[in-house]
Amino acid sequence: MLHAGNALRFTPAEIEDFRKLGLDFDGARTPDDIEQALAQWAATLNDERPDLLERIAVELAKAKGIPLPARLARVR
44 neighbors 22 (Cβ within 8 angstroms): yes
> Looking at the predicted structure, is the pLDDT value of residue 75 above 70?
no
45 neighbors 52 (Cβ within 8 angstroms): yes
Give the C-alpha separation, 64 to 11, whole Å: 28
Task: For residue range 13-40, list pLDDT tens digits in order.
Answer: 988 999 998 888 888 889 899 999 999 9
> Looking at the predicted structure, is the pLDDT value of residue 74 above 80?
no
Residue 44 binned pLDDT confidence (cut-offs 50, 70, 90): very high
Cα dist from 62 to 54, 57, 67, whole Å = 12, 9, 8
46 neighbors 33 (Cβ within 8 angstroms): no
What's residue 76's pLDDT?
47
Residue 10 binned pLDDT confidence (cut-offs 50, 70, 90): confident
